Amino acid sequence: MAEEGFTEKLKNFLGESKRVLLVTKKPSTKEFKMAAKITGLGMLLIGAIGMIIRIVGTLITGGS
């Protein structure tokens, strides 16, 4: 009984995944470069915030 539920869920998932893949399109070079730049800037921003928090924490605790 549990096996039937699993196979039905798997079939539904695969059907929905196929539908999504048929709708998507390959990005143009311009779109790809813009997405890469935005992603890189986000990573740098998150890294800078983490570094600032670590420095402030080190200054508050007084060293190592």
Q: What is the dihedral of CA 16, 22, 28, 30, to 10 degrees?
A: -20
64 pLDDT band, cuts 50/70/90, is low
Q: What is the pTM of this model?
A: 0.59
5 pLDDT band, cuts 50/70/90, is confident
Q: Residue 47 belongs to what domain range?
A: 2-61
Q: How many domains does the chain have?
A: 1
The angle at the Cα of 6, spanning 4 to 9, to the nearest 5 degrees, equals 110
Q: What is the mean pLDDT of residues 17-42?
A: 95
DSSP state of 62: T
Cβ–Cβ under 8 Å, residues 35 and 27: yes
Q: Supply 7's token pair.
A: 């196979």
pLDDT tens per residue across span 39-59: 999 999 999 999 999 999 999
The pLDDT of residue 59 is 93
